[in-house]
Chains A and B, each alone.
Chain A
Amino acid sequence: MAKSEQDLNGLRPAKIKEILDSLRDNPDVLKAVTGPWKSRVVWQKGFKAKAYMRQHAVQMDEPEGLDAQDSAASAHEQLLSAMGSCLTVGFVLNATLRGVQIHDLEIALEGNFDNILKWAGHSKEGNPGYPTVKAKCFVRADASDAVLREIWKAAVDGSPVVQTVARPTNIVTEFEQVGA
């Protein structure tokens, strides 16, 4: 089951452990990892927007049904993807720390809006967002079912993105009109 310390799941377990330990032992590292994490979203045209994060950029759009061009996934889909990606990172991290070789890993997520009429301006009540998000993990790995379930639980409990979504988050908004 356990592989050598050289390389596991495309990672170096010893290096990962060293980084995690430095997070605990070195306040500067902890501060850097804690944040702030940033994204800047710039409107393009129609419902298109582009998000810039460090040196990366991600395009967003809306489906054609909304008179958009459907040139990219929409923000609410990318939220699901962000949750799935974060769970993937957590799963791989915890598996690697336990010495578990993963062969395939896939997470299928889905959610239904509670009251999208609020987004559309037809309703003042309720939640326009997902009241529930389902996330199913499929994995093929060299470990027992019990161990893999423990790893999955650790990934869910420790996921910054999932836990942000799962609990009330204080969203501080500001507004500024430019050039008025």
Chain B
Amino acid sequence: MSKPKLFPVTVVGSWPRPTWLIQALRKRQNGEITQAEFNQIADDAVLSAIKYQEDAGVDIVSDGEVRRDNFYSFVVEKLSGIRLMKLSELMDYVKDRAGFEEILRASDVPSFAIKSPIAIDKIKERDGISLDEYDFLKNHTNRQTKIPLPGPYLLTRSAWFEGLSDKAYPTREDLAKDVVQILRNEVLELKKRGCDFIQFDEPSLTQVVYGDEAEQTFMCAALGTRRDPSEELEFAVRLMNETVEGIEGVRYGVHICRGNWSRKEDVLLKGNYGPLLPWLMRMNIHQLVLEMATPRAGEIDVFKEYRNQKELGLGVSNPRNDTIEDPKQIVQSVRKLLEFYDADKIMLNPDCGFGTFAERCVNTPDIAYKKLQSISRAAEMLRKEYT
């Protein structure tokens, strides 16, 4: 049996949406077309996203998340009891409106652009969250596959909103039980169907340690109330471990970045992974999918203390600019990690998706393709050196 390929290249998930797809997405959201009609339209966009990734040399591909409005709100199409609400609709329920206003100003976004899936009744699954996406992806690629899912903490935190959710779920913990069960069912089904890599997106954990101290915020998809950071992180660890407990045979990753809604670096959160690592290391997952190509992410040295404890999906390309990273530069940044990390514990990926929010994609397919190509070239150079 051949040794596994070193430095596999993968993506964080999302791909830029073409205008015609966004128009179709709006029609679906307005009830002008059915989910099946939308999916038929979106199939072409998925095929294009797969082709770009394959041509760029990506080893583990996603479907580009192009059927989704964003990486977590899409669950409203897949679950009952949950409704996509704009922040502009939630303003009457927000406790600290002045605080929200400050974040909106700093982020330079309108309140209608911030959307969150809010639990308004008991949430129930219909036909899975990502199974249709996975089946289509699997049928159209020979590469390994990655399915990004909203993490249990993210989903619980964003979906429980006081004044709207408490009739069905008096507390966040009550909602968390159903979220975990739904995600467990999804994981089991994805594993059965042959998915190679399930990535749980948990960007709101950054908000826990680096965000505004306000109880309520919407940075990094963290809409909803938070408690003390340690309690929040403990809660996140517990939910993740309950989600994957006893289910082997599929690679689990957790993706944490500092926001991907704007190209303005100064409006995104900053801070290294250090404060999160004691908790992340206790999550029963294989890989941390990291944002590391921006100075906002801090130094890689914080992982020294935890060497080889988890695989690292190293972010080596900033998805929010037009600069195509030089493969030699990428190699240099990987070498820094290789000073204390084993080569077979490292995957390469961009810092985040290229189209996290359907209507605010941070790049074009051409630039995204070239950035991935650069990562693949760097991976080839590294393989020659380390195989």
Contact = CB atoms under 8 A, between A and B. Distances in A.
A119 to B, nearest CB: 22
Interface in A18-56: none
A140 interface: yes
A150 interface: no
A78 to B, nearest CB: 15
Interface in A103-136: 103-104, 106, 108, 110
A110 B104 CA distance: 13
B26 A108 contact: no
Query: In terms of DSSP, what is the predominant structure of the interface of chain A?
Result: strand
Given A108-B104, A108-B105, A140-B359, A103 B26 contact: yes
A108 B239 CA distance: 38
Query: In terms of DSSP, what is the predominant structure of the interface of chain B?
Result: helix
Interface residues of B, number: 11
Contacts of B110: 104, 106, 108, 138
Contacts of A110: 105
Contact of B111 (A103, A106, A140): A106
Contacts of B112: 104, 106, 138, 140
Nearest to A139: B110
Contacts of B86: 104
Contacts of B105: 108, 110
Contacts of A108: 104-105, 110
Interface residues of A, number: 7
Contacts of A138: 109-110, 112-113
B88 interface: yes
Nearest to A110: B105
Most buried by B among A103, A106, A110, A140: A106
B88 A104 contact: yes
Contacts of A106: 88, 110-112
A111 B316 CA distance: 41
B368 to A, nearest CB: 23
Interface in B6-27: 26
B70 to A, nearest CB: 15
B104 to A, nearest CB: 7
Nearest to A138: B110
Contacts of B88: 104, 106
A108 B111 CA distance: 10
Interface of B: 26, 86, 88, 104-105, 109-113, 359
13 contacts: A103-B26, A104-B88, A104-B113, A106-B88, A106-B110, A106-B111, A106-B112, A108-B104, A108-B110, A138-B110, A138-B113, A140-B112, A140-B359
Given A106-B111, A108-B110, A138-B113, 13 more contacts: A103-B26, A104-B86, A104-B110, A104-B112, A106-B88, A106-B110, A106-B112, A108-B105, A110-B105, A138-B109, A138-B110, A140-B112, A140-B359
